[in-house]
Amino acid sequence: MRSFPGRPGSRVRLAEQAWRGDEMAYRMVGISGSPIVKGNLGTFLDSIMDTASARGFETETVHLQKMLVRNCTHCNYCISRQKDGKYCSLDDDAQALYEKIEQADAIVLASPVYFMRTSGMMATFIDRLRVFIFGNVAGGRLRNKVGISAAVSWLRHGGIETTHLSHILAFITLDMIPATVHSSVSPLGASSVSSRHGEGEFDPSVRLGTRDDQAGLLSAEALVGRAVELLDLMRKAPVTS
């Protein structure tokens, strides 16, 4: 079995847990952009969050499918009229999500591949993160948080990296730090396929193909390991500018 950085036994040995003596544990929020809660994407995201929990993170998973998040209207309310507890003019579930990710150290954007890109559900949520760019109260509050992209596709080369790019561009725009690992399925993020070996052949006996995708599961471990490494570096030498 191939060994990736961040995986116990690899030549890059990271700390086994995020807990450091009397320091607070890191927090990770995973956000699923799939309309199916317990499908392949949900299963893959669970593996990421379980790995993070084993490494000492406090974790929480949010399913956009269970929430009402409306389209951003670019009304510019967030530029000058934000206040604590209300970052956006729209009355929906987005504010609760804002507060969750604002308290997180690491954020996972996880999506199935739709038309070679992230899902519409995830794209809508990303658009609503505008409040953390221009907001008179919340602007800049995601700066230097670590972002992990996760994607599941049907085909081996069926849009995983373009989906990652959707998420990574959001991280960059928000002044976040994307976690990347070169020695993995994709350097851009945690990557898994839902068909057997990513061959795209329908097999009714395979319901959750991500469970059998060992390379994908290893990539999830590697990305969590990299997130720990980045957070440890920032904890030791905080960025103040």
Does a structural domain hold residue 15?
Answer: no
> If 0-12 CB within 10 Å is exposed, 13-18 middle and 19+ buried, where does residue 80 land?
exposed
Name 83's bridge partners. 86
Strands (E), 113-218: 146-153, 177-178, 190-193
Does a structural domain hold residue 67?
Answer: yes
Q: Say whether pLDDT at 215 is over 90.
A: no
- How far apart are the C-alpha atoms of 26 and 74, rounded to whole Å? 33
- How far apart are the C-alpha atoms of 224 and 205, rounded to whole Å? 30
Q: Say whether pLDDT at 20 is over 70.
A: no
- 3-state secondary structure at position 186: strand
Does a structural domain hold residue 32?
Answer: yes
CA 119 from centre of chain: 14
Q: Say whether pLDDT at 12 is over 60.
A: no
Q: Say whether pLDDT at 5 is over 70.
A: no
Instruction: Check residues 177 and 20 and name the one with the higher pLDDT.
Output: 177
Does a structural domain hold residue 4?
Answer: no
Indicate the number of domains in the chain.
1
CATH number of the domain that 73 lies in? 3.40.50.360
Does a structural domain hold residue 170?
Answer: yes
Q: Which H or E run includes 28?
A: strand 27-32
Mean pLDDT of 81-86: 94
Q: Note the pLDDT tens digit of each residue in 94-148.
A: 999 999 999 999 999 999 999 999 999 999 999 999 999 999 999 999 999 999 9
